[in-house]
Amino acid sequence: MKTKEIVVPDIGDFDKVEIIELLVAEGDTIAAEDSLITVESDKASMEIPSSDGGVVKELKVKLGDYVQEGSVILVLETSQSAEVEISTPEVAPKSAQEASNTTADTEQESPAEKPAAPKASLPQATQKTSPTAHIDEVSFTQAYASPSLRRFARELGVDLGKVNGTGRKNRILKQDIKDFVKQNLQSNTEGNTSGTALGVAPMPEIDFSQWGSVENVALSKINKLTGEFLHRNWVTIPHVTQYDEADISDMEAFRKEMGQELADQGIKITPLAFIMKAVVAALKTYPRFNSSLDVSKQNLIQKHYYHIGVAVDTPDGLVVPVIRDADQKSLVDISQEIRELAVKARNKKLKPADMQGGCFSISSLGGIGGTSFTPIINAPEVAILGVSRSKMQPHWNGSEFEPRLMLPLSLSYDHRVIDGADGARFTSFLSKTLSDIRRLLLT
Ligand code: CAO
């Protein structure tokens, strides 16, 4: 057996570059020209290929290491006589400078680059989609991924521009492409949701700059992820939205009274805590709202716990952290937890576990305004409550009009699971409970 050290070749003007991806592991059998690592400078990233084929005996580098020309990447065992030899690839990868100068080309693989800075407008010629597939060449080129992953994506016909990168600085990883394919296959079997599959004309690509100045602003990672989920939920779940209102005059009077008493302890009770308690009582009374359809869509999974999601608006987009076991928590506990989760969300400190396991969601726009809206169900949940801004309104009490504070409620539910009558019963129950919060003691 012969052993060779594979080293970093000439990488142009760069002194030291960081390893951001290890593409092989000890024990792997590789061929000459296979990519070994991806390195990144402040201008571009590139893959370093192997000069020889063989079995990776020992990796000499790890993620985050800085390497330069001549750094040993790994020791390779080839099938010739024993002897240590140092080898560099015959074909050095493109220098980072060349890489960052490379332009979009549908046939030629461009090196991995960070997405280009937003452009005022895209030239008309580059806005064409690929003739061979549904790949948008502009966003494909701008996607942040290595050349080998670009090849991989092309083999699968995946439009990289639509893939969410979960790597460092949103770099697209192989797993992201696999997840994208899986998700697409799943949504295809669930009912083909793309424009063409629905039998509607695809959205045309338009050069808006022909009518005035425009700017291309990249969506945040949260925007892209929620966009995918909301789109899937909107087109695969038959939504019905039931509107109602609750007289919260007494509830608000009590909340304000309590607010004064608790102010010394730094405690503030939000209307949302009362709404959450009323939702839990409604879920106990109408358990179908606390269920999910199983994958076969033949059974309901009935939940016996009450974890309630709260939509939180953050500068990066919408997130839905979950208050666990809301049935076992006091109004004060729930108020404080909502505040803590909202702060965590806005400081990007939420962990995936904080957003999992919800049974039902509440989207409150009450602090902002509006009279009603259609919230989109947060699948696999089967219903979501939208809350708008309360308003003082004249209410006929049988002999005269009196001012009452009315809270608008918008309940969207999955019509496969919930009938219209139950939708109306649920909001009526909420309305009665919020109008007389003593009812909360009954459930
Ligand atoms: N009507 C009138 N006023 C209301 C109200 C309502 N329905 N709900 C809350 N308010 C008031 C609060 O009492 C508070 O006023 P005071 O400070 O005078 O007491 C003020 O509005 C601000 O409330 P808040 O929004 O900070 O607190 P909250 O507990 O009501 O809500 C949270 C917290 C996290 C839900 C909220 O900050 C938020 O992010 N909302 C947006 C959710 C969203 O984007 N949903 C859309 C999703 S798309 O389906």
Residue 362 has pLDDT above 60, yes or no: yes
Which residue numbers are catalytic?
359, 415, 419
- 427: buried, middle or exposed (CB in 10 Å: 19+, 13-18, 0-12)? buried
Sequence spans of domains, the chain: 2-84, 137-191, 238-442
How does residue 41 score in pLDDT terms, banded at 50, 70 and 90?
Answer: confident
CA of 389 from ligand 1 middle (Å) equals 9
Nearest-CA residue for atom 10 of ligand 1? 367
Joined together, the tokens standing for residue 340 give 């803590």
- Mean pLDDT check: name the lowest of 190-204, 207-221, 302-316, 352-366: 190-204
Binned at pLDDT 50, 70 and 90, residue 22 comes out as confident
At 212, give phi and psi (nearest 5°). 160, -175
The answer to whether residues 290 and 360 touch, using CB atoms and an 8 Å cutoff, is yes
Compute the average pLDDT of residues 286-298: 96
271 close to ligand 1 (CB < 6 Angstrom): yes
Residue 182 has pLDDT above 70, yes or no: yes
Indicate the fold that domain 2-84 takes in CATH.
OB fold (Dihydrolipoamide Acetyltransferase, E2P) (2.40.50)
In short, whether 342's Cβ falls inside 6 Å of ligand 1 is yes
- Position in ligand 1 atom list of the atom nearest CA 363: 45
Ligand 1 atom nearest to 386, measured from its CA? 49
Topology classification of domain 137-191:
Dihydrolipoamide Transferase (4.10.320)
Angle value at C-alpha 19, between 16 and 25, nearest 5 degrees: 140
**387 C-beta closer than 6 A to ligand 1:** yes
Check pLDDT > 90 for residue 332: yes
What pLDDT, on the 0 to 100 scale, is given for residue 141?
Answer: 80
**Average pLDDT in the 165-185 region?**
84
Phi and psi at residue 314, in whole multiples of 5°?
-125, 165
- From atom 12 of ligand 1, which residue's Cα is the shortest distance away? 367
Beta bridge partners of 360: 308
pLDDT tens-digit readout, 119-139? 322 222 233 333 345 677 778
Q: 75-84, 201-210, 354-363 — which is least confidently predicted?
A: 75-84
CA distance 219 to 224: 6
Give the list of residues 6+ apart from residue 256 with CB closer than 8 angstroms, or none: none
State CA 419 to chain mean position distance: 30
CB distance 418 to 262 below 8 Å: no
pLDDT at 109: 37
* Residue 113: predicted pLDDT: 39
* pLDDT recorded at residue 116: 36
CATH superfamily of 238-442: Chloramphenicol acetyltransferase-like domain (3.30.559.10)
Average pLDDT across the chain, whole number: 84
Question: In terms of pLDDT, which residue wins out, 3 or 86?
Answer: 3
Q: What is the pLDDT of residues 49-76, one digit of tens each?
A: 898 999 999 999 998 899 998 999 999 9
Ligand 1 site, residue 313, Cβ cutoff 6 A: yes
- Please state the atom number of ligand 1 nearest to the C-alpha of residue 268: 19
Q: Is the pLDDT of residue 369 over 70?
A: yes
* 53-62, 142-151, 192-201: least confidently modelled range: 192-201
Kindly calculate the radius of gyration of the chain based on its CA atoms and give it in whole angstroms.
28
Closest ligand 1 atom, CA of 384? 49
For ligand 1, the distance from its centroid to the CA atom of residue 65, given in whole angstroms, is 46
CA of 365 to the centre of ligand 1 (A): 6
Q: What is the mean pLDDT of residues 390-411?
A: 97
Residue to mutate (ligand 1; options 364, 390, 391; most atoms within 8 A of CB)? 364
